[in-house]
Structure 1
């Protein structure tokens, strides 16, 4: 028996308004999706192409340096003015301190350094120097309270991340780890440094924590102090010889010792004032010193590069005739550069 055809179900008509609304939602979703994917691709591209510092890396010669300020003022005798002018052109790490670059101003400072880096086709190198109980009450005493320090380093990190197109080298709190045992503040400093690393880290940002120098702590002792900070492997490595005068070869050997003990960590070495080598046990404004090899001159599989970290011509403190720590000292600048002029 033949079946009668099944009656057709009436087609529901979709209101035109719903069709238009659906199309709008789809377009918006596509645009948002493209934006998200684009952001992910951009971040991935930046991460893949971010390269650590190496031989040949040029950092900014900052026009806000004290050498540049002295050069513009023209004060001093002929040798002192010539020294300031020469030093003002040398790529040198800029020191961020809460005294000169407080929480509400540090963003602008970094933004200006980033603009200079773009103009000079260079990288930024900054030393972050505002740790609570900084320098344990010695020549560079000061620093922020713990709450303000967290806010300050977060602001620094935000500003550095905003300059995502620029390579950033961060020397985090020189002397902080090497001094920690004598200051009796290992656990406190570990907490401050861990928080600072998390606040500052970002794409194309290479953080080096304090590694002292070859004539301070034996490598095994220094490695233990670094491990106690709990910042590895969230940093690139250690900064050696900052504000000191040790021979470059000795610092390279020390960097390799630390790397072996710390599982392959890297290093940068300060050569700003080691051209005449150390002056025995004297570290505070010793006489007869010279500027060292320009940054970007040396490196190997462990030492990424040498840098000028301590600005030549700035005092170590009120010792051997010097002014307060960090102040421009024309006589010292002239002495350090006597073979460059």
Structure 2
């Protein structure tokens, strides 16, 4: 009863925040995804050749054809996670230009993910830079500055850039972890710097806002918005014109956009799926003068009952590909559903027996994602070559 009362009070407070919150400063509110083609990452498609071959060997032509659809037609994001990985931006630009047809603009999804002391609480995706070894200066000058130069020079393309998945979530909830407490000022300064440097008309920035199971609890909404407000204010001190388009959620996680079944572990949370998380967080963002626009990763969605608790995040089984990027949805805070985490890349040596290291290809897992896709993927069959006329 006490918990239920707390939930009712928190819901009332949320409603009050929604009515009292000042709106962000007026300005153009053009959804950057509207009316644009989306870049399909060819290197991801090549990885899926292994999955297509596996289904073909099983005489499963339907799921081979469904995998071919993912490889050839569905837009995902390119993750740039090291200084050497900056070459992936050039590759994406080249391929996007080749894919562009007609007068429509092309939007390219990128992830910027290389903070010093990265992944302070989980450790499965630890990066190349350490704050103890001049990591922040290296991050700024050898990573962010070069990143910004590459996207600024491709003015014929638009870019949607997700900034540092999971990092600021640690600033909200994991200050009791010494490594995270020490890393937080580094995270905030690094992301503020990236925002200040990525101010170009063809670039649309989304700060990562973790997911509803992490930051969507009633007590976390206001502190989360305050952290984001502080970081954007820091960016404005570096560049008075600094702004962001909004926030990304559910990156590399498994939450539904709109849950068909409300899981028991979401009880008392106003953010039981990602649509409700966006709606719950929006008024607190607006109270900080921030935009309340979201992109939501649906590249992998856990099936109902797959998890016993929300904290299960690693190679969750069973799961499937979720709604396609750009699918229609009924939440005005959401710019687009997207596939940010490429399905098939392991979360780490956890979750399932035999799972490979973080980022390594996990073909058995992607086969499961294809089979469990919801809605089911449309098949793309290979065209039979025309033989010589008789």
Relative to the length of structure 1, the TM-score reads 0.76
* Separation of aligned partners in 1, 2:292 and 2:160: 15
What's the offset of the Cα at 1:242? Answer: 0.6
Residue 165 in 1 paired to residue 167 in 2? no
Residue 108 in 1 paired to residue 90 in 2? yes
* Separation of aligned partners in 2, 1:335 and 1:261: 38
Q: Is this contact kept in 2: 1:239–1:268, CA < 8 A?
A: yes
Residue 267 of structure 2 aligns with which residue? Answer: none
Residue 292 of structure 2 aligns with which residue? Answer: 265
Q: Is this contact kept in 2: 1:223–1:261, CA < 8 A?
A: yes
* Separation of aligned partners in 2, 1:248 and 1:129: 23
Query: Structure 1 residues 252 and 59 mapped into 2: Cα distance closer, same or farther (>3 Å)?
Result: same
Residue 6 of structure 2 aligns with which residue? Answer: none
Residue 237 of structure 1 aligns with which residue? Answer: 246
Query: Structure 1 residues 318 and 99 mapped into 2: Cα distance closer, same or farther (>3 Å)?
Result: farther
Pairs within 5 Å for 1:285-324: 285-299=315-329, 300-319=331-350, 320=352, 321-324=354-357
Pairs within 5 Å for 1:1-341: 51-54=30-33, 57-65=36-44, 67-71=45-49, 76=54, 78=56, 82=64, 85-89=68-72, 90-98=74-82, 101-102=85-86, 105-106=87-88, 108-119=90-101, 122-136=106-120, 138-144=123-129, 145-150=135-140, 151-181=142-172, 182=174, 183-184=180-181, 185-217=183-215, 218=217, 219-230=221-232, 231=235, 234-249=243-258, 250-263=273-286, 264-274=291-301, 276=303, 279=307, 280-281=309-310, 282-299=312-329, 300-319=331-350, 320=352, 321-339=354-372, 340=377
Unaligned runs of 5+ in 2: 1-26, 130-134, 175-179, 237-241, 259-272, 380-390
Query: Structure 1 residues 117 and 265 mapped into 2: Cα distance closer, same or farther (>3 Å)?
Result: farther
Q: Give SS of 1:177's match.
A: helix
Q: Is this contact kept in 1: 2:80–2:89, CA < 8 A?
A: no
Moved more, 227-236 or 174-183: 227-236
Query: Structure 1 residues 200 and 270 mapped into 2: Cα distance closer, same or farther (>3 Å)?
Result: same
1:276-323 Cα offsets, whole Å, 9 max, x none, are: 356233110011101100001135431111101110111111111311
> Cα RMSD (Å) of the superposition?
2.8
Residue 33 of structure 1 aligns with which residue? Answer: none
Q: Give SS of 1:126's match.
A: strand
Q: Give SS of 2:212's match.
A: coil
Equivalent pairs counted in the alignment come to 291
